[in-house]
């Protein structure tokens, strides 16, 4: 990454993405993939807070697609959020679309990915980094993006069918496909198929910012570097009060920045991204459950770490910090969130739609609704076509939508997770304050509004309740969904329709509406 980009004057940065099917072998096992510009991960977008981004996406796949710019606010450009069937109909096969947006205050580490079915599982992902001179983080000498992901050798449509196996995989409804391995910046190791590693050669006695992104589909990734502690400074684009850890669990779609000081013995070291096996519901023989990379400084660029340490990582000295505790995350300059004026309550569950029917799909529900993508339109376009600027249009039964009509509302989302699994939920278009999380159902418990953490992706653990708060001032249709791809495909998505009288004024390019006939 460029060390000088932050000093550049504001500008428009233009990219051309060609999305297509390719064969690839990220961990040494050849598999069909969906990629951008022939590479996995796709191109990194690196820009400054004052820049404009223009991305011309051409779809050379047989199915429609869309690109979501994860974590960005898209204020006034909700139709460029890239959520297929929600903010657009999708880019049809052989067609193109131009995404054109600014960052509107977002600073930090994030990513982009396909938001159509399970396409990003097959490779349509990439990093997106937004620099700013006024970002309130400690100084550092260099920057490195680490994109971690679980990996499947089979294409995702077949895996989704596997997920929906009558009676469930291994006889248990709701069992998710277990990954075959994983990658770090597109490189993994599977058995004897691949002995390549992502390599980073740094300078000794410097401080580097590592931007960790979990671009996977199912499990959290546990990141660590042998013999080193790390200083957490950012989570999901929010600068946090720095603190040290030995490792971090990064849930699907979450991002963290950590500072690495290259002040140990000059050498090559293993760094590791371990797949969270607690999420595995059956045995996948041969699965590579830890991905490795090589970090070196003060030695030649071809120096490798001790292979004897591959399966026997060294321990840190007594008194070293432990792994990340997310309750320690405190935003820089933290203050109480504004008082709520509007609340919405919902439950998360996984079940058969009409009682036990082992030949039907085991679906995900928010309240009693299992989301299905609209066909031939999107939530936003259907709203505009209704001319019901008060948000009173009638959505389909598969769409659970809460409308916030009036400006000035501060919304509490009160969530009971009735499922026996953890769910990493992401809110499009805004960040939320984490006002409370605890075991059991919500029964009016007092929230913690002293220094609440502010982010856009949060794990809602099994059998717990969560209270999230955000300011509803960003007009448009915004998804709130589980980022486990199998769960979202099974319906675990809810929508917010914020300030419909404002979104009715959007100047949406006509060709986007025309693409609905082809998508």
Query: Quick one: pLDDT band at residue 392, thresholds 50, 70, 90?
Result: very low
Most confident region among 34-43, 157-166, 353-362 by mean pLDDT: 34-43
Q: Which residues pair with 238 in a beta bridge?
A: 235
CA gap 490, 63 in Å, rounded? 19
Q: Is a pLDDT exceeding 60 seen at residue 389?
A: no
Mean pLDDT score across all residues of the chain? 95
10 Å CB burial of residue 114 (0-12, 13-18, 19+) is buried
Residue with tokens 């890239």: 82
- Give CA–CA dist 89/515, Å, rounded: 7
pLDDT at residue number 80: 98
The pLDDT confidence band at residue 135, using thresholds 50, 70 and 90, is very high
Give the pair of three-digit tokens for residue 479: 């998804």
Measured distance CA(145)–CA(210) in Å, rounded: 6
Q: What confidence category does residue 105 fall into, taking pLDDT thresholds of 50, 70 and 90?
A: very high
Strand partners, 57: 17, 97
Is residue 192's pLDDT more than 90?
Answer: no
Q: pLDDT tens digits for 144-162?
A: 999 999 999 999 999 999 9
Res. 58: pLDDT tops 50 = yes
Per DSSP (E only), the strands in 339-492 are 342-352, 362-366, 401-404, 410-417, 423-427, 432-439, 454-455, 457-460, 464-471, 476-482
Q: What is the pLDDT of residues 295-354, one digit of tens each?
A: 999 999 999 999 999 999 999 999 999 999 999 999 999 999 999 999 999 999 999 877
Contact in structure between 318 and 388 (CB atoms under 8 Å): no
* 356 has pLDDT over 70: no
- CB-based contact 48:132 (threshold 8 Å): yes
Rounded Cα distance between 426 and 421, Å, is: 16
Q: What is the pLDDT of residue 73?
A: 98
Could you give the 3-state DSSP secondary structure of residue 446?
Answer: coil
In a 10 Å sphere around its CB, with 0-12 CB exposed, 13-18 middle and 19+ buried, how is residue 447 labelled?
middle
Residue keyed to tokens 């990996």:
151
HSE-CB at 383 with a 13 A cutoff on CA atoms is 32
Q: Residue 415: CB partners within 8 Å, gap ≥ 6?
A: 345, 346, 347, 348, 425, 442, 460, 465, 466, 467, 468
Beta strands in 9-124 (DSSP E): 12-24, 31-36, 45-48, 52-59, 67-69, 96-102, 108-114
Q: Minimal CA–CA distance to 225: which of 251, 252, 198?
A: 198
- Give the pLDDT score at 360: 76
Whether 240 and 282 have beta carbons less than 8 Å apart is answered as no
Q: What percent of the chain has pLDDT over 90?
A: 90
Give the alpha-carbon dihedral of 404, 492, 512, 379, to 10 degrees. -40
Residue-level pLDDT at 395: 67
pLDDT exceeds 70 at position 391:
no
Of 81-95, 376-390, 482-496, which range is least confident?
376-390
Percentage of the chain surpassing pLDDT 70? 97
Partnered with residue 231 across adjacent β-strands are 244, 259
**In this model, does residue 17 exceed pLDDT 90?**
yes
The span from the CA of 309 to the CA of 481, in Å, is: 39
Q: Per-residue pLDDT averaged across 429-457, rounded?
A: 97
CA–CA separation, 116 and 10 (whole Å): 32
Secondary structure, 3-state, 249-301:
EECCCCEEEEEEECCCCCEEEEEEEEECHHHCCCCCCCCCCEEEEEEEECCCC
| DSSP string over 44-64 | PEEEETT-EEEEEEEE-SSS-
Q: How far is residue 71 CA from its own chain's centroid?
A: 8
């Amino acid at each position: 990454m460029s060390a000088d980009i932050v000093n550049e004057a504001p500008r428009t940065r233009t990219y051309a993405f060609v999305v297509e099917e390719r064969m690839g072998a990220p961990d040494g096992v050849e598999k069909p993939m969906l990629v951008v510009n022939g590479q996995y991960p796709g191109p990194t977008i690196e820009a400054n807070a004052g820049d404009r981004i223009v991305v011309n996406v051409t779809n050379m796949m047989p199915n429609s697609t869309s690109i979501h710019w994860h974590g960005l606010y898209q204020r006034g450009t909700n139709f460029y959020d890239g959520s297929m069937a929600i903010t657009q109909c999708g880019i049809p096969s052989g067609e193109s679309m131009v995404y054109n947006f600014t960052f509107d205050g977002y600073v930090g580490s994030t990513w982009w990915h396909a938001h159509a079915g399970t396409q990003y599982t097959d490779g349509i992902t990439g990093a997106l980094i937004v620099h700013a001179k006024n970002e309130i983080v400690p100084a550092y000498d260099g920057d490195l993006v680490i994109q971690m992901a679980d990996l499947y050798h089979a294409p995702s449509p077949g895996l989704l069918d596997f997920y929906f196996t009558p009676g469930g995989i291994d006889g248990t409804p709701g069992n998710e496909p277990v990954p075959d391995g994983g990658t770090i910046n597109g490189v993994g190791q599977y058995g004897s198929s691949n002995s390549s590693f992502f390599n980073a050669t740094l300078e000794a006695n410097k401080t580097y910012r590592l931007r960790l992104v979990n671009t996977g589909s199912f499990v959290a990734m546990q990141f660590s570097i042998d013999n080193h502690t790390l200083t957490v400074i950012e989570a999901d684009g929010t600068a946090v009060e720095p603190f040290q850890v030995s490792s971090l669990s990064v849930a699907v779609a979450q991002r963290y920045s950590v500072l690495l000081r290259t002040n140990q013995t000059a050498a090559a070291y293993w760094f590791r991204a371990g797949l969270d096996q607690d999420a595995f519901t059956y045995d996948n023989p041969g699965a590579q459950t830890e991905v490795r990379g090589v970090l070196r400084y003060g030695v030649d660029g071809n120096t490798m770490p001790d292979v004897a340490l591959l399966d026997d990582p060294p321990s840190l000295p007594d008194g070293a910090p432990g792994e990340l505790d997310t309750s320690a995350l405190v935003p820089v300059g933290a203050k109480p969130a504004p008082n709520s004026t509007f609340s919405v309550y919902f439950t998360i569950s996984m079940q058969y739609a009409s009682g036990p029917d082992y030949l039907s799909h085991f679906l995900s529900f928010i309240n009693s609704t299992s989301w299905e993508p609209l066909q031939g339109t999107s939530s936003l376009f259907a709203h505009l076509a209704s001319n019901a600027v008060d948000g009173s249009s009638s959505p389909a039964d598969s769409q659970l939508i809460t409308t916030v009509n009036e400006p000035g509302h501060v919304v509490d989302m009160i969530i009971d997770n009735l499922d026996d699994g953890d769910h990493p939920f992401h809110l499009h278009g805004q960040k939320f304050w984490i006002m409370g999380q605890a075991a059991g159902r919500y029964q009016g418990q007092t929230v913690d509004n002293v220094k609440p953490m502010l982010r856009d992706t949060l794990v809602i653990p099994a059998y717990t309740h969560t209270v999230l708060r955000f300011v509803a001032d960003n007009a448009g249709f915004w998804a709130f969904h589980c980022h486990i791809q199998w769960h979202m495909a099974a319906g675990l998505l809810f929508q917010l329709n914020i300030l419909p009288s404002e979104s009715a004024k959007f100047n949406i390019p006509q060709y986007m509406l025309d693409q609905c006939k082809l998508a």
